[in-house]
């Protein structure tokens, strides 16, 4: 359409840098005459506005009572389309995070809908029947168990020493030591060792793999060869190991020809050696709290597990143990101690409400481990033989002990 045929009430104005500047080389057109023909206007006179080549011109279309309107709104920024560089990309908009140009750009969030597969309850059934196409995710009970497992796996800086003790025999102290160490060994990825520090014929190693597992070697053999043990594999030759949990055990010396128990300094030397190769050391002590060796083990401890049977005499003995620790500078061990009511059977023994209330006011945690036939036999014990309720209670016990792994060590 030629400029003379432009319709309109529009006036195309030119502005520097604005799209659509229109200048006409033709003379301005005058309004139509009586005959309807348009005639060229005369040359501008002195009183006419300057229409030089450099000045913007407008095409008047004969309607003078309609306000003129620019094609571009006045408040829009002007852009020189011809001056734009097609090779320059726009910068990221405000508030957006640029994608890193390294391996950190690839994260689990890129996998849409990724959820852990349930292993219990109806959620597991739905996941299995649909071959994973429909996965409701773990239920509340399983999520709670996963949180407990995360506590059990609390990272350890250096090593930690857990002393399991009781002033009364026959309460299941060695059983709790074995079960606690096995639980840690199964669910943690670092090295866990249990030490039979009972000088009176302790049987921890027998409960793991029998005497053949360590070729009959004991803690005294480790002491004799301590100066020659420089690697983990060399130390392993003196230990037993559970075939199921992979818990390693240092056996006590039950040679009947021995007349003297190991001294406090001897246990200290063994523990220092184990510190170089293990992250977690669980110590099964004797019952004599006044024994010098036992007091040395207490001084080496980062954490205390106090075991008692759910009875009046067991509760009194455990309370006396805490009294002694308070009086001899180990109040910090009492405050973070975990108390285990072992072998609990509903309806058997004294009511436990008052027992729990007493120790809950003095210690960090009080837990119950139910009576289990597999633990009462006194032979080799594996976690797979235990009832589910017992395994769950032991997992809670391990989590309660691990809650202190990230705290600063005590006074030792």
The answer to the question of residue 411 being in a domain is no
- Rounded CA gap, 165 and 114, in Å? 45
Residue 112 phi, psi dihedral angles, 5° rounding = -65, 135
Q: Model's pTM, two decimal places?
A: 0.68
The answer to the question of residue 96 being in a domain is no
Most confident of 25-29, 39-43, 172-176: 172-176
Percentage of the chain modeled with pLDDT above 70: 67
The answer to the question of residue 290 being in a domain is yes
Do 298 and 387 reside in the same domain of the chain? yes
The pLDDT, as a whole number, for residue 347 is 73
Do 129 and 241 reside in the same domain of the chain? no
Mean pLDDT of 140-145: 82
Interior/surface letters 257-277, b for 16+ CB within 10 angstroms, e for the rest: eeeebbebebbeebbebbeeb
Q: Give the pairing type, strands 338-344 and 240-241.
A: unpaired
At a CB cut-off of 8 Å and minimum separation 6, what does 297 contact?
A: 163, 197, 267, 283, 285
Mean pLDDT of 137-157: 87
The number of distinct structural domains making up the chain is: 3
The pLDDT, as a whole number, for residue 105 is 81
pLDDT beyond 50 at 300: yes
The answer to the question of residue 321 being in a domain is yes
- Rounded CA gap, 134 and 136, in Å? 7
Percentage of the chain modeled with pLDDT above 90: 40
Query: CATH no. for residue 291?
Result: 3.40.50.300
The pLDDT, as a whole number, for residue 308 is 94
Do 162 and 147 reside in the same domain of the chain? no
Least confident of 148-157, 191-200, 219-228: 191-200
The pLDDT, as a whole number, for residue 348 is 75
Do 131 and 210 reside in the same domain of the chain? no
The pLDDT, as a whole number, for residue 108 is 67
Residue 341 phi, psi dihedral angles, 5° rounding = -85, 105
The answer to the question of residue 67 being in a domain is yes
Give the DSSP per-residue string, 143-205: HHHHHHHHHHT---SS-EEEEEE-SSTTSSHHHHHHHHHHHHHHH-SS-EEEEEE-TTT--HH
The model's pLDDT over 186-221, given as tens digits with 9 standing for 90+, comes to: 999 899 999 998 877 667 887 776 544 445 688 999
Do 59 and 207 reside in the same domain of the chain? no
Q: Are 249 and 129 in contact (CB under 8 A)?
A: no
Do 137 and 62 reside in the same domain of the chain? no
The answer to the question of residue 98 being in a domain is no
Residue 230, Cβ neighbours under 10 Å: how many?
9
Question: Residue 58's pLDDT band (boundaries 50, 70, 90)?
Answer: very low
The pLDDT, as a whole number, for residue 7 is 52
Of 126, 152, 178, the one marking the end of a domain is 152
The pLDDT, as a whole number, for residue 397 is 97
Do 348 and 285 reside in the same domain of the chain? yes
Most confident of 5-14, 89-98, 147-156: 147-156
pLDDT beyond 80 at 289: yes
Do 216 and 298 reside in the same domain of the chain? yes
The alpha carbon of 142 is separated from its chain's Cα centroid by a whole number of angstroms, namely 16
- What are the tokens at 286? 């004797």
- What are the tokens at 139? 């239920």
- Rounded CA gap, 332 and 363, in Å? 10
Do 172 and 255 reside in the same domain of the chain? yes
Do 131 and 227 reside in the same domain of the chain? no
Residues paired with residue 282 on neighbouring β-strands, in sequence order: 162, 194
pLDDT beyond 90 at 139: no
Mean pLDDT of 119-144: 76
The answer to the question of residue 95 being in a domain is no
Residue 305 belongs to what domain range? Answer: 157-402
The pLDDT, as a whole number, for residue 303 is 95
The pLDDT, as a whole number, for residue 408 is 53
Do 316 and 288 reside in the same domain of the chain? yes
- What are the tokens at 382? 């594996």
Do 29 and 14 reside in the same domain of the chain? yes
Closest CA to 270 of 243, 251, 255: 251
Interior/surface letters 341-354, b for 16+ CB within 10 angstroms, e for the rest: bbbbeeeebeebee
Mean pLDDT of 147-165: 94
The answer to the question of residue 186 being in a domain is yes
């Amino acid at each position: 359409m030629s400029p003379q045929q432009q319709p309109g009430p529009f006036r195309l104005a030119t502005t520097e840098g604005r799209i659509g500047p229109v200048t006409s080389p033709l003379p301005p057109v005058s309004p139509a005459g009586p005959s309807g023909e348009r005639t060229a206007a005369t040359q501008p006179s002195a009183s006419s506005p300057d229409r030089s080549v450099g000045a913007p011109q407008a095409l008047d279309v004969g309607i003078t009572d309609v306000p003129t309107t620019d094609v571009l709104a006045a408040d829009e920024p002007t852009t020189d389309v011809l001056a734009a560089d097609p090779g320059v990309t726009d910068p990221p908009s405000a508030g957006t995070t640029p994608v890193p140009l390294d391996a950190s750009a690839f994260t689990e969030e890129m996998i849409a809908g990724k959820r852990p597969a349930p292993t219990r309850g109806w959620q597991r059934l739905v996941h299995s029947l649909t071959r994973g196409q429909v996965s409701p995710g773990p239920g509340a009970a399983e999520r709670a168990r996963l949180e407990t497992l995360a506590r059990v796996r609390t990272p350890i800086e250096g090593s930690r020493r857990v002393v399991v003790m009781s002033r009364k025999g026959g309460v299941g102290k060695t059983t709790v030591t074995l079960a606690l160490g096995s639980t840690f060994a199964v669910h943690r990825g670092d090295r866990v060792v249990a030490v039979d520090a009972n000088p009176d014929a302790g049987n921890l190693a027998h409960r793991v793999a029998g005497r053949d597992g360590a070729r009959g070697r004991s803690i005294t053999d480790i002491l004799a060869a301590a100066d020659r043990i420089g690697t983990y594999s060399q130390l392993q030759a003196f230990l037993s190991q559970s075939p199921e949990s992979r818990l390693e055990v240092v056996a006590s010396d039950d040679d009947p020809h021995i007349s003297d128990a190991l001294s406090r300094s001897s246990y200290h030397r063994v523990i220092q050696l184990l510190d170089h190769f293990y992250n977690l050391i669980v110590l099964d002590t004797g019952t004599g709290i006044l024994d010098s060796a036992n007091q040395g083990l207490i001084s080496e401890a980062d954490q205390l597990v106090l075991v008692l049977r759910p009875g009046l005499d067991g509760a009194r003995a455990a309370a006396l143990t805490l009294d002694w620790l308070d009086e001899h500078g180990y109040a910090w061990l009492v405050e973070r101690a975990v108390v285990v009511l072992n072998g609990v059977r509903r309806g058997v023994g004294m009511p436990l409400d008052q027992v729990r209330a007493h120790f809950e006011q003095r210690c960090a945690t009080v837990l119950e481990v139910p009576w289990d036939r597999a633990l009462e036999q006194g032979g080799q014990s594996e976690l797979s033989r235990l009832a589910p309720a017992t395994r769950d209670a032991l997992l809670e016990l391990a989590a309660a002990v691990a809650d202190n792994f990230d705290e600063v060590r005590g006074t030792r």
